[in-house]
Structure 1
Amino acid sequence: MANLSAKLFVAAGLLAAAGCAKKPPADLPPPAVGTDQGTTAPTDGTVGNAVVPGSQQDFIASVSSDTVYFDTDMYDIDAEDRATLDSQIAWLQRYPQARVTLEGHADERGTREYNLALGDRRANAAKNYLVTRGISADRISTISYGKERPKALGSDEASWAQNRRAVTVIIG
């Protein structure tokens, strides 16, 4: 009797799992205009050799830099940072539909928690500058990577200086 109960239990489980199987949709959407069946448009901001206006590639080509750098344990925006952010503001005003993420980073020194908090302060310092210059806060998100995504590997001042930064990334 226990053997029959076990078989019924297994059969019920198999039937339940089979009922959850995903079925393909009856109608597939048509391919995107201008693309071949099964291919998609590039996502890197280029079409052929041309840069798409309003894309990340256009942003990089148009601004003085996508990155502002900070001194050790600092998150204040200095004159050089303001010049960089001012060039980003000009681009953002040209493309009012563009949204950005400001990524805050720190060098490898300090605890993970300290560097996440410092990266957050750096990203928000850049965001606050953009907002005070007329860019809507609704268009800007921030994230801190702390020391988790270094630009330069190394345990020296030159590497650390490259890793203390806030980077502006176009997200749409």
Structure 2
Amino acid sequence: MPVRVQTQDFDLGAEVAALRAGRPGVGAVAAFVGTVRDINDGAGVSAMELEHYPGMTEKALDDIVAEAGRRWQIIDALVIHRVGPLQPMDQIVLVAVLSAHRGEAFAACEFIMDYLKTAAPFWKKEHGAAGARWVDARESDDRALAKWGIASSNAGKPE
């Protein structure tokens, strides 16, 4: 189950096609692509930076994808998360899940994404007219993760 943390953009169609290749048992593909918005919490966003801890981040993503595989009958999953400087409309994250049936694919995709929003070791800094600010997970994101029986770690931000 591939996990990649990278600075370069990704092609949704090419990534899903490569994941599905040679797998005739796939009956469902659920995918989510997150993008940079130009506004957050009512404030304009002109740029965003994503930071992570190499090695630690990939292990955390591998672990959550493996957990999704234990909870649902999935064939495979792919997580690509970008880091570094990003602009509004840039793609940030891709989660794609393959399974025989849509329910398993949808649930596993949502589970992985809920984890990424709150507990994965990424830190997001937004830039706008008022300057730069670190962005914390929202309470609604913590509640979304809690429904899966996982508490948010909401680890501290780098200095």
Q: Normalized against structure 1, the TM-score is what?
A: 0.23
Q: Identify, as 1 or 2, the structure richer in helix.
A: 1
Superposition TM-score, scaled by structure 2 size? 0.25
Structure having the higher Rg? 1
Q: Which has the higher contact order (CA 8 A, sep 6+)?
A: 2
